[in-house]
Every structure is written in C-alpha cells, then in structure tokens.
Structure 1
Amino acid sequence: MYTVAAILSIIQHDDRRIYDEEQEISELAYDSRKIRKGANSLFFALKNVRDGHLFIADAYRKGVRSFVVSRKDIDFASYGDANFIVVRDTLSALQELAGFHRLQFTKPIIGITGSNGKTIVKEWLTQLLQPDKKVYQSPKSYNSQLGVALSLWNLSAEYDYAIIEAGISRPGEMSVLENMIKPDIGIFTNIGLAHANGFASKDVKLKEKLCLFSNCDTVVFASQYGIRSLLPAPTRKFSYGQEESDSVHILQTYEKGHGKTAIQIAFGEEVATLTVPFQDKASLENALICVTTLLLLGYPLKTVGHRLSALRPLDMRLQLKKGKNNSSIIDDTYSNDLASLQIALEFLYQQRQYKQKTLILSDMEGLNEHLRSKLASLMELQQLDRTILVGKGIFFLEAHIKGEVLLFETTEQLLGALKDMSFGNETILIKGSRAYHLEDVSNLLSAKSHETVLEINLKALEHNLQTYRSMLPPDVRMMAMVKAFSYGSGSYEVANLLQFNKVDYLTVAFADEGAELRQHGIELPIMVLSPDERAFETLVSYQLEPEVYSFRVLYALLHFLTARGIEDFPIHIKIDTGMHRLGFLPEELTKLSEVLQHSRQARVRSVLSHLAAAGSATHKAFTEEQIRLFVDSTAFLRERLGYDFIRHIANTSGIAGWPSAYMDMVRLGIGLYGIDMSGQLSLEAVGQLKTTITQIKELPAGATVGYDRKGVLQRDSRIATIKIGYADGYDRRFGNGVGEMSINGQTVKTVGSICMDMCMLDVTDIFAHEEDEVIVFPDLLKAAETIGTIPYELLVNISSRVKRVYFYD
C-alpha cells in the first residue's frame, strides 16, 4: 500500500486539498461503476469520451476518499473528508504512479509488442514458465495507455518474472508505455496490418513499436521481419529464423499429421527436433517466439521440447453463453489469476438478467501467503449467492466468503455432483486454471444447440458506442436501437452492456421485446416503435413508452389509459418530415396539439422523425429540408403544449454526417454493430458468423454437387460440406459460386445450391481439414452487395437457432 503522502511525493501536481495524508491506497479506480473497495481506492477522473469528473460524487458515495483531478472548479467543500490532488493530466498522473511502482520490482520484466500474437505469446510463455517460476502477466488484453498502467500496479515482489503486453494505435504512444514498463527483455511478435490506419506507413508503425525496446538488455524477434538494424546498438539481438546468424536456427519444418508440426532447430552446438501441436502459420510463429525466449532464459532444449508439446490452443475470451434452465454462463476458464479474476467478477456484476450470482472457482498456481491474503480480501468484498471452490489449495477461502460455499477437491468430483445440484435463473461465472479443465463444467451447464455460432464481441460493441459518443456534445443524449434481436446480435445481453455504459434510451420494435428486456433486469427507458392496441397492457405493466404515429393509435391509447385511470403516461410523437413511412404529417400538428392539450392521460416525452437519406450526398438538400421542417414542427408543438420534450431525428448516418440534426438526442442503430455506411469511421466488427467443415470429398471433373445438379465440377476437386444453410439465414442467392467464405485465412466459393441446413464449398486450392472453422461472411458489406441487399438484412436474418456466444476481450 501507498499513503496519500507518498503519492503526493511521486506524482507532479499543481494543487492539493488534503484531509488525511495517512490514508492507505491499494486500489486504482477510474470507473465509478466498478468500485468495490472504496476506502482504499484512489480515483482518477480521466477525461475520455466521458469526463470522469462527472462521476466524483458517485465514487464518493461508494466510499472513495482520495481523488486525482485536473479541474479546479470542483466544489471541494462538499467533500470535506476527502483528499484531492490536482494535476494537469489525470492519465499522465496515473502512468507516473504506475511507472514508479514498476521501479520497485527488481525481477526481470518481459515487454511484448507487435501487430498480432501478443496476448497468445504472453499466455503461452506464462504456461511454459509456470512449472518452476511464479509469473505475473498483464491481464486479458490490457495493453493500452490505461491498461498497461493498471497492469503494472499489481506487480509485487513474490513473482520471478512479469510479462507485460504493449499495444499502440497512433504515433507517440509507445514512448509513454516504454517509460512505464522499462522492460529488461523485449519480444517482438511480428508486423502486420493491425491499426495501420493510425500511421503514415508500415515503416513508421514499425519504428514506433520498436520504441518499447529503447533500453532493453535483449530483444527476441524473428529475423524475417528485418528489425535487427533498427534496434539500439547496445541491445543483445536474440533471433530465430532460417539464417545461420540467428540464435535459434531453423533447419527444417514438416507436418507430422494429427495437427502437429515438427521443427528441427540448431541452438549453439545442439540440434533437436521439437514437436509443436499446431500447423497454422500464426501458431508456429508464436510457438517459436516462446521457444527462443525460453532458450534465452537458460532452459535446456530437452525441457523446452517437453513443455512445448503440451501447449494447447487458447480461447482467451471471456464468453457469455446461454445456459440450461434459464441461466447465463460466463466462461473464463483459460487462466486464473488475481487480476483476471477481478475483471471477470466485475463482468459478473454487470449482468442484470438474473439476481442470483454463482461463482465456480478453481485453485490458482503459485499462491503464496501474500497472494492468499490478497485473494481473501478480494473475496470478502463479493456479494455472491453461491460459491463452488475446486481444489484444496483454496478451501481457506470458505471463511472469507458470504453466501453458500461448496467444496470439491477435483473437477471430476464436481462433474459427478452437478447432476444432483440445482442450477437455474442465475448467472454463473466459471473461472479456473487450465489444469482443472473447468471448460468441462462450462460445456455441461451450457445449453446445447446447432454447431453454427454467431460470436458477438461485446468489447467491439462498446468501442463503437464510444466512437459515436465522442462525436457528440456532452449534453446530447444517446438512444440505442436493440430492435430485431439487436440486429441479430442478441437481446438482453446487448441491452445489458448498453445499460452498463449508461445510454439514455433503448428502442425495440414491439412490446414483447421490451417486456423480455424488463424481465432480464433492464431498467433503462424503452421506446416501442410499433405499439399494437393488443399490447397496451404490456406497455403499462412493463413501463414501456410507445411511439405514437397516427390518430388511430393515439385515440386507442388515450381510451385505454382513461379506462384504467392512468395520467401522464409517457409517449413519443412521430412526425413524418419526408420518410413517408409512419408519422403525423406537418399539416396534422394543429389537430394533434389540440388533442394532446385536452388530454391528461398522456404526456409527450419526446418528438422524433427519421432522416430518409442522411448518408447520401446526392440528397443533401432533401435532408436539410427535413431538419428544417422538424425544427419548425417541434417549435410549434412546444408552444402549443406549453412544456418541453426531447427532440431527436438523427439516425446512425445522421450522427456521422449531420451535426445540425443532433438536437437533444440521437438514435444509434446499425453503426453500433460495426457497420459504417459512411466509410469514415474506425468501427469494429461485432458479429462473426462461424461454422465448421463436416466432411471433405474428392470428386472427379464432371461430377455434380447439390440439388438439381447445379454445381458442375470443371476439374478434379475437393468439396467441403459445412453446417450452415438457408434455415440458419444463409441466403439461397449465395449458391453456385456467388457466396465466399474463409477457411484458415483463405477465401473459397460455394458450389451448387444452398441447402436447408448445409452448403458446399470448393476447397481444392487451399489447406483445409474436416472440423476446421469456417468464417461465413469474411466481408459483410461485400457479401450484401453481391446479392443486391444491405448488411441489415444479412444480420437480422441469422436464425434464432444459431447459438449466440458473447465474449468480452
């Protein structure tokens, strides 16, 4: 722990308001929603998309009494028993503190950067070193300006090595990370296209990444990337590759079958053949980086070979899956350490769909007395209904956990007991070390479904939300569209993330959709676009707010509300300014205002319209006229009604191109899910539709494939049958070579007609095996254009029988 007095001596500051300089600080906080131990937290009011100063009061209510701020207009007197440190830049202050803490760590720090493979190499190195070393690793993908600082804060003396990942997206960032990490050993994975749009050229990006190694003793790298001459002269260059000058000289590589690869290497005077349990290029590169690093650290070739053969593929994503008996499963079973456990617990508490929370936790490797104490302190803060502990090494936690606690010495014992245990209507976090194979528990508790899956990246969705938020003035509200099963991405899972990120409104198409969200813990205001008269009872019961677009709907709703004695029920008035789909025409507003003036049953919460062509430069004048007409119409209604309401007309395209349309609130739709129709934004793909190869056949030229023999082979071919068809939402128009999919990074075309549950691909020219993964839409925009439709249609048509798997990187 640090005292406030010590922190004052570490970070540069312009002013201070100190109540208790002896307060002990053990936690760094930047998000008031995630505070669990307020009394020992130092809150940094970061200025990002949202100004952290706006959440000081919330952090104070949660027990925080020490703050680092950059604004001097805070009413310090309102927080009389709190400490305030005033700095120029709060993120820089956080990095300064983390950098100081790093210097207290005297064991070797390994810093990893590169375009791809950073997290895999970090995880594999940890796995390879753990049999005889205690290894600290930065959690998940915490490699950003903030993530690195938070990672370094958890360093402590009991570790033999620390492995810290560093990632950048624009010039100037790596020097800041290097100043914090100060790695003793550097690892460079590769250089590729990731974040390429943030740099003027590939060379610029490469030089920026290499800044991490400015003061390294040794750098590990592949000679094929040509960085040797770019590294500082005093640095020891420890490379692998096919050049005789490489420290680890690759003599030959060949496939061994069963997914394995043999690599013959020369190291010093020794020659050995290592077996790697992978065949794809990326995994081989990552494995060789790990081999080279272990040899640098002095491990014998025989030991390296033995440990290498035990490597397994890592699904390093925290996954949210539908469980049996109306439950949600959070699967985070690939690693188990204090930092990643805390992140997973935070994600557990974000889930509001079920009140009951269950944790299944395995023993951790390398727990000494200090780490046991930290783990106990963490568990004492949790509000869990049930905790299941696996492994004798963590049974001591029973005394530190509130709620029901069950103990199992082995995973096998737990699996045997599960059939007699009651699970349902709860969210279950499964967190375990790989040695305990808790993925078997996850598989048993998860709902089974069709093997084709739609993976939803919740972190990407969060990124897209913040991208659009960053374009808005602080006083403009955000309404998020979750209609049509959130554009195919799921229902309450997406809504829950949006609620956690404090959007102001959600929108659904039908009342039943809103009712389901309410049943799963969504408390945000919800607007219903198409209220049916038969659904009025649902609207009232679940506090849903209808869009009213015609006198028919308005009169029916008022009659319903009158019969039930309800007053001031919130409604949203739709005006037709040119879309000509739904809404009151401008000439109907006088009559509308008269009806509303004489009605106590309803109160206008907002007035909205819809831009018909905001994404088209051709129709700029039309959009301007829509905005003008909307402004005039809302001004008229405000005057006639005598009270204010929210105005919103800007859709996703309107946010990107029409600041004059922001008004009081904007409606974010398809852009939230990673589709940028403007082509101007750096959005991230949210959904990835995947399936697998069921069978591969060798067929001669002239053979036909599929119904009506439409797939005629012009050559001897290898044809793969995969597990997706039009019943899953894969359009029949993609048949006969129109559709393209990706296998092992290589593009292939469909053959023959699309079947109900399957379709066929020509894999003659690529490397593919049965059970290989298939990416159904490598490029969603291109796929939509190919069959003359839009991405919306492809997304919403993905069948509900396709299993949705959510993950949060």
Structure 2
Amino acid sequence: MTIEQLYQHYIKNRLIATDTRNILEGSIFFALKGEKFNANTFAADALGAGASLAVVDEEKYATDDRFILVEDVLQTLQDLARHHRKQLHIPVIGITGTNGKTTTKELLFAVLSQHYKTFATKGNLNNHIGVPLSLLSIDDSVEVAVIEMGANHQGEIAFLSEIAAPTHGLITNVGKAHLEGFGSFEGVKKTKGELYDYLKSHAGVLFIQGDNEHLTEMERQRNIDKVVRYGFSQSNAIVGRLELANPFLKITWQRNEGPRYTVDTQLTGSYNAENILAAAAVGAFLGVTDDEINRGISGYAPTNNRSQITKTAHNTVIADYYNANASSMAAALDNIAFIEAPQKAIILGDMFEMGEESFAEHQKLVVMANSIPVQRTIFVGKAFAEHQHEAAEFYKTTEEARKALLDQPIKDSTILLKASRGMAFEKLMECL
C-alpha cells in the first residue's frame, strides 16, 4: 500500500492510535517498537478493539488484509504525517528552545484561539513520534497550528522541521540542557538553530527575542529575510516591560509605538515575561487584535507543574518540577530571590542528562542558592550530594527529603520546588 492509499483510509476517520488502550472505532493502529516493547504483538488486539487497519512491520503478524505490512512502522507514521502536512494550507508555527517552549506554546494557543480555530501540540508530544501524531490530529477546521519540537541530540530539529514544515518559527532561548546528547552548549545552539536553517531555506518568518545575544548571533549568521523582533528594548517591534513579579507577573507591552497595555497574568517567574511577549508578537503578526491578545494572556493559567503556583494548607509553592536544566534552575533561583515574601525556602533536585558538565553545573547552583537569603535551603539527589555545604540540607533521595520535611515541616513560606522530572518531587508536595 502506498502512502497515498493509506492516506485515503486515514481521511475517512482521521483517527490514529499507537496504544491498544486508546482505540476508537475506525482508528488506524501503528504498531511501534521500543527498547522494551513491540506493538506488533498487539496488532490483532487493536483490530479486535475497533481499529480498521493495523500497520505492522513483521510479516508473521500480518494474517489478513486488515494488516498493512511495511518495512518500518515509525517511518510510515512519519511519512503519513508529512503527506498530511502537505495538504494543510495554514500557518504552522514551529517552537523549540531549551526552556519555556511548552509555556510559550500554551500562551500562543491562548492568544491565537481568541481569533482563530487553533491547534497546539498536546502535552509533550514533541519528538519523532509526537510531532507526527500532532500533525495527524489537525483537521480541516483548523486555521493555524502551533507545533512544539523538542530535541536531545543534533539533527533532531532539522528532521522534525522537515515533517512539520513550519511557515513561522520561534526559538525561546538556548541553554545548557541534554548535554549528553548535544555534547556542548555550542551543540545546543547548532541543533536549535536547525529551525532557523529551515525557515531560511523555505522563506519562513522568524520571531526572535531581539535582546538575546545568542539568538541574535544565530540569526545574523543565517541572514534570514523575514524577522519579527520582540523584547524589552525599543529596537524591537513588540516592546515590553516587567512591572511586577510578586509572585504573579504584571507586564506592559506595545507594538510599533502604538498604545501601551498593562496585563495582569496568572504566571510566576520573571523569565516568563519574554514568553508572554513572544505570544503577543506572533498574535500581532497574524492579525489578532490587541484586546484579543490581552484576553489570551490574562486568561492563561499554567498547569502540569511548570511554574505553577499552588496554595497548600501551610505554604505557597512554586511547583516547577516537570523539568530542569542549568539555565532554567538559575532563572528559577533569580525569581525566588526577586519575590518579596516574609519567609522563603528553596528545595532543588538533581538535573539529569548533563553529561560531563554535571558536576560543575550542580556546584554552581549550590553556590547560587546558598547566596539567596531564605529560611531553609534543601538539595536532593546524588549529584547535589557531591557538594555538601553546612549552610544547607542535603538528601540523596526524594524519600529522605520527604521524611525530613515531615519531621521538620516548613510553614508560612513561599517555596521554590524545582527538579528534573525523574526526581518525582510530587512526593514532596504532601509535606508542604
């Protein structure tokens, strides 16, 4: 079966499944493989659950004409998504970056949805499987799409860009993350810059934080024709100012010397100011009115423990433990230092995938955190434990930290809770 023939099956129901627990009637099931699973073995179950076709790549499982035998199921899924993308004649905004890409994606969705039928990547479906699944979720009613693209090794953004074919693009920032895969900070810049390369070669529109020296250097190297700048200096097309961050952000913004607007947000973290301006810049360029932009920004509330403020019975917790890297950790510490509160505490957990720079980067954060005047500073994890310091508490595991917090509770404080997802810091919330 050709991709075009498979596509004709797809457009009958526009339902794709990769998990037999989520089969809807008429779905096409793709039997993906991983290190610890082989969904070919579940293909018959998928058909029994209501799938119309099962795409497999092992001949022994293709027992009748409801099974489509291909050389590689994942490649077929990607090819189908690439084919579907070619049928979509809408703006597609590609987003990547070390920090803030999911929040920026959600802000973009909130702003653009005020004016257009908008699709945005769900959750963290931003990799070589998630991007194709996201594209195949776009139907004919969608007027603009926002596709998040993540990467942990070089070449990945280039590959995802060829599938998503963004007409517009945005890199939130570049920082030290996934260094095991990228090799170095320069490797991060090279990989994220693959989005700029795609926009350059396809006459796309670039949105850029014009005050970010790394991003502007990357843009100058490529000499991209269509660039929209946002930031905090007057040289940008969208100019903003952070008015308050205590803990929720209040910002002012204006475009091209137009009216200046003040917006109260539900976001914490001064680092989110530029993400807000990015959403304003994209919205303004695509014809969203100023009032609609303001409604979208003020109405957005973060979820999934990304700079999410949670009021517990005893404290105010800045829950930011979905992910962590050196630059996002430093930004979170800057923010807690800036916030005015009678009592504050810092609880940091290990950063993963830092490669050879892990020791040095964890050490920098210990020094930085200990320089901030708070009532209590706690470090959790084996990487942080290598930097024991009498000015703070160190625990090798989250469970050890949980017991310590139960024995000596923190009360009436504003608490930063930040770690890589694998540290399972949600276990600490019950103690706070």
Alignment of 1:428-507 (within 5 A): none
Measured against aligned partners, the alpha-carbon deviations of 1:561-607 in whole angstroms (never above 9, x if no partner) come to xxxxxxxxxxxxxxxxxxxxxxxxxxxxxxxxxxxxxxxxxxxxxxx
Name the CA distance, whole Å, in 1 between partners of 2:320 and 2:229: 37
Assess if the C-alpha contact under 8 Å between 2:111 and 2:295 holds in 1.
no
Q: Is the 8 A contact 1:28 1:41 kept in 2?
A: yes
Q: Please tell me whether the aligned partners of residues 255 and 279 of structure 1 are also in contact (alpha carbons under 8 angstroms).
A: no
Are 2:64 and 1:80 equivalent residues in the alignment?
Answer: yes
The reply on whether 1:43 has 2:30 as its aligned counterpart is: yes
Deviations 1:114-155 (A, max 9, x none): 111111111112212223321111101111110111111110
> Which residue identity is paired with 2:135?
L
Match of residue 600 from structure 1: none
- Assess if the C-alpha contact under 8 Å between 1:777 and 1:783 holds in 2: yes
Equivalent of residue 314 in structure 1, options 302, 319, 326: 302
Alignment correspondent of 1:635: none
Q: Which runs of 4+ in 1 moved over 6 A?
A: 452-457, 799-803
- Distance in 1 (CA, whole Å) between partners of 2:398 and 2:293 is 50
Q: 2:384 aligns with which of 782, 796, 800?
A: 782
SS at match of 2:193: helix
Alignment gaps of 5+ in structure 1? 12-20, 319-333, 335-438, 461-691, 698-719, 725-739, 750-760, 765-773
Deviations 1:294-321 (A, max 9, x none): 221234546544654x244412359xxx
1:219 lines up with 2:174 in the alignment? no
Matched ranges for 1:706-717 at <5 A = none
Q: C-alpha separation between the residues in 2 aligned to 1:283 and 1:27?
A: 35
Summarize the Cα distance change of 1:451–1:126 in structure 2 as closer, same or farther, 3 Å threshold: same
**CA contact under 8 A between 1:69 and 1:85: conserved in structure 2?**
yes
Contact conserved, 1:134 with 1:158, CA < 8 A, in 2?
A: yes
Report the equivalent of 1:747.
369
SS, match of residue 68 in structure 1: strand
Shift of 1:190: 0.8
Summarize the Cα distance change of 1:721–1:209 in structure 2 as closer, same or farther, 3 Å threshold: closer
Cross-structure match for 1:182: 165
Against the structure 1 CA distance between its residues 798 and 26, is the aligned structure 2 distance closer, same or farther, given a 3 Å change threshold? farther
How far does residue 163 in structure 1 lie from its aligned partner after superposition? 0.9
Among 342, 348, 373, the residue aligned to 1:762: 373
- Rounded Cα–Cα distance in structure 2 between residues aligned with 1:42 and 1:128: 34
Indicate how the Cα distance of structure 1 residues 60 and 247 shifts in structure 2: closer, same or farther if over 3 A, else same: same
1:782–1:25 Cα change, 3 Å: same
Which SS does the other structure have where 1:762 is aligned? coil
Letter matched to residue 66 of structure 1: L
What is aligned with 1:270?
258
Matched residue, 1:149: 132
Distance 1:255 1:22 in 2: 49
The higher relative CO (CA closer than 8 Å, separation ≥ 6) is in: 2
Match of 2:278 in 1: 289
Is 1:66 the counterpart of 2:56? The answer is no
Inter-partner Cα distance in structure 2 for 1:49 and 1:99: 27
Does residue 55 of the first structure (1) align with residue 42 of the second (2)? yes
- Could you give the per-residue CA deviations for residues 356-384 of structure 1, whole angstroms, max 9, x where no partner exists? xxxxxxxxxxxxxxxxxxxxxxxxxxxxx
Contact 1:43 1:59 in 2 (8 A): no
Distance 1:270 1:31 in 2: 50
Equivalence for 1:93: 76
The Cα shift of 1:5 comes to 6.9
Structure-1 separation of matches of 2:137 and 2:225: 28
Look up the SS of the partner of 1:239 in the other structure.
strand
CA shift for structure 1 position 275 = 3.5
Mapping 1:138-537, distance limit 5 Å: 138-213=121-196, 214=198, 215=202, 217-223=204-210, 224-228=212-216, 230-231=218-219, 232-233=222-223, 235-242=225-232, 245-250=235-240, 253-255=242-244, 259-263=248-252, 265=254, 267-270=255-258, 272-277=260-265, 280-301=269-290, 304-305=293-294, 307-308=296-297, 310-316=298-304
Q: CA deviation at 1:722?
A: 5.7
Q: Tell me the equivalent position of 2:114.
A: 131
- Give CA-to-partner distance per residue, 1:66-98, whole Å, 9 cap, x none: 2323334x154xx235322222x3211111101
- What percent identity do the matched residue pairs reach? 21
Residue in 2 that maps onto 1:791: 397
Given the alignment of the two structures, is residue 113 of structure 1 paired with residue 82 of structure 2, yes or no? no
Instruction: Name the amino acid aligned to 2:230.
Output: Y
CA distance in 2, matches of 1:182, 1:130: 21
* Matched-pair contact (CA < 8 Å) for 1:171–1:208: yes
- CA distance in structure 2 between the aligned counterparts of 1:128 and 1:789, rounded to whole angstroms: 42
The superposition leaves residues 15-38 of structure 1 with CA deviations (integer Å, 9 ceiling, x where unpaired) of xxxxxx899553222233x23226
TM-score, normalization by structure 1: 0.40
Instruction: Report the Cα distance in structure 2 between the residues aligned to 1:52 and 1:236, rounded to whole angstroms.
Output: 44
Q: Is the 8 A contact 1:170 1:198 kept in 2?
A: yes
Counterparts in 2 of 1:729-748, with a 5 A limit? 747-748=369-370
C-alpha offsets along residues 619-650 of structure 1, whole Å, 9 cap, x if unaligned? xxxxxxxxxxxxxxxxxxxxxxxxxxxxxxxx
Which whole-Å deviations, capped at 9, do the CAs of 1:320-374 have from their partners, x for residues lacking one?
xxxxxxxxxxxxxx9xxxxxxxxxxxxxxxxxxxxxxxxxxxxxxxxxxxxxxxx
CA–CA separation in structure 2 for the residues paired with 1:23 and 1:245: 46
**CA contact under 8 A between 2:46 and 2:54: conserved in structure 1?**
no
Distance of 1:255 and 1:225 partners within structure 2: 24
Q: How has the CA–CA distance of structure 1 residues 63 and 258 changed in structure 2, closer, same or farther, with 3 Å as cutoff?
A: closer
- The AA in structure 1 aligned to 2:280 is V
**What SS does the corresponding residue of 2:379 show, helix, strand or coil?**
coil
- What is the letter of the counterpart of residue 30 of structure 1? T
Letter paired with 1:196: L
Does the 8 A contact of 2:174 with 2:192 survive in 1?
no
Per-residue CA distance 1:763-783 (angstroms, 9 max, x = gap):
39xxxxxxxxx8743655434
**Superposed CA RMSD:** 4.5
AA partner of residue 215 (structure 2): I
Matched residue pairs, number? 371
Match of 2:351 in 1: none
Work out whether residues 14 and 27 of structure 2, in 8 Å CA contact, stay in contact via their aligned partners in 1.
yes
- Residue number in structure 2 paired with 1:408: none
The code of the aligned residue for 2:56 comes to V
**1:284 to partner: Cα distance:** 0.7
1:221: how far off? Answer: 1.1
Would you say the 8 A contact 2:29–2:43 is kept in 1? no
Q: Residues of 1 paired with 2:253 and 2:70: CA distance? A: 58
Q: How does 1:532-543 map to 2 (within 5 A)?
A: none
